[in-house]
Amino acid sequence: MDSYALLIAATLNAGTVLAIASLGLLINEKVGIVNLGAEGMMLCAALAGFAAVVHTGSTVVGFAAGMAAGALMAAIFGVLVIWLNTNQYATGLALSLFGGGFSAFAGTGYVQARLPEQTAWAIPLLGDIPLLGPALFRHHPMVYVAMALTVGLIWFLYRTRTGLVLRSVGESPESAHALGYPVRRIRLAAVVAGGALCGLAGAYISTVYTPLWVEGMVAGKGWIALALTTFATWRPARVLLGAYLFGGVTMLQFHLQGAGVNVPSQFLTMLPYVATIVVLALISRNPTWIRVNMPSSIGKPFYPGS
C-alpha cells in the first residue's frame, strides 16, 4: 500500500508543474489570446530560476526570477500581438522557438552547476499520518500553491468585478471597448500574468523537480499545458484535475515498468498525448458546448478603431 501512497505523491508533484503553467495559459485564453509560446517561456524561466539559485542560494529568488523571465517574454509577445496585431499563432510559435534556442544558448555555462541541498518538506503532524501523510502532506510548498492558485483563480474570475471584466473582454472585446474599458491594456495585463505563472512553473522544474539545468528540460510540458486548457474546457478546477491526471500517467509508465508489466514503454509514454487527442475530439464535437465554454474571441485580433 505504501507504494500507492508514494505514487500519489509523485503524481501530485508531476501535476503541479502542468497545473501552474496551464492556469497561466487559462488566464490568457480567458481574454481571448492563445500564447503558443508556453514552452519557450518555461524554458527561459527554468534557466533564469536555476541561475538565480546558483548565484543567490535562495529558491524564493529563483521563483521570482522565473516569474520575471516569463512575464518579460509574455510582454514582448503581448505588445506584438495586441498592439501590432501580428498573428497570434505565429508569434507564439516564434516565442517558443526563440525561447528554446535562447535558453540552450545562454544556459551552456550552467550545465554542470549544482544547487544547494534541498530540505525535505513535511507538514508537522499531518505529515506523519500513515498513508495519507506521505501521499498528501509531505510536499514542497509549491504543490499547495498550485491548489491555492486554482481556488484563488476561481474566486477571481467568477466572483470579482475585475474577473467579470476580464471574461467579458474575452467574450466580446468590441462590446467591452464600447463600454469604455481599456481592452488592450487588460489583455496585456492578462498575458503578462499568464507569462509569470508559466515562468513560475518553469522555475519549479529546474530548481525543485529536477535540480539541474539541461537544454530542453521542459520536454514538451508547455505544449501539454496548452492542451490542458482546452481539455479542461477553460475551467480552473478541471485544469487542476487534468494536470494531476497527466502527471499520474507520466509516473504510471515507470511504475508499470518497475512492477514488471510488459507493455512496451513507448505506448505508455504515448498515453498522455493520445488521451489529450481523444478528449479534444470529444469535447469539440458539440459546437454548442464549445460556444458556451470557449471564450469567443480566442485567436482573433482586436482593432479598437473598428
Of residues 55-84, those binding another protein (CB under 8 A): 76, 80, 83-84
Contact assessment for residue 19 and residue 255, using Cβ atoms and an 8 Å cutoff: no
**Closest CB 224 distance from another protein, rounded Å:** 8
Q: Minimum distance between the CB of residue 288 and another protein, rounded to whole angstroms?
A: 11
Q: What is the footprint of another protein within residues 200-219 (CB under 8 A)?
A: 205, 209-212, 214-215, 217, 219
- Shortest CB 61 distance to another protein, Å: 20
Q: Mask: binding to another protein, 79-118, rule CB under 8 A, as x and -?
A: -x--xxxxx-xxx-xxx-xxxxxx-xx--x-xxx-x--xx
Site for another protein in 222-241 (CB under 8 A): 223, 226-227, 230
Gap between the Cα atoms of 146 and 237, Å rounded: 11
Q: If you write DSSP's letter for every residue of 178-226 in order, what string do you get?
A: HTT--HHHHHHHHHHHHHHHHHHHHHHIIIIIS----TTTTTTHHHHHH
Phi, psi of 264 (to 5 degrees): -55, 130
Does position 292 interact with another protein (CB under 8 A)? The reply is no
Q: Is the dihedral of CA 191, 75, 183, 223 positive or negative?
A: negative
What residues numbered 250-289 form the site for another protein, per CB under 8 A? 250-251, 254-255, 257-260, 262, 264-267, 269-270, 273-274, 276-277, 280-282, 284-285, 287
Q: Decide if residue 305 touches another protein (CB under 8 A).
A: yes
- Residue 289 has phi, psi (to 5 degrees) of -60, -40
Cα(68)–Cα(48) distance, rounded to whole angstroms?
A: 9
Based on the shown chain and the rule CB under 8 A, indicate whether residue 158 belongs to the binding site for another protein.
Answer: no
Q: Smallest distance from the beta carbon of 63 to another protein, in angstroms? A: 18
φ, ψ of residue 119 to 5 degrees: the values are -80, 150
- Residues 21-60: x/- map of binding to another protein (CB under 8 A)? ---------------x---x--------------------
Member of 120, 180, 288, 292 binding another protein (CB under 8 A): 120
Q: Give the nearest distance from C-beta 248 to another protein in angstroms.
A: 12
Q: How far is the CB of 186 from another protein (least distance, A)?
A: 19
Q: In Å, how far are 7, 158, 240, 301 from 235, measured between CA atoms?
A: 26, 10, 9, 23
Cα separation, 26 vs 273, whole angstroms: 19
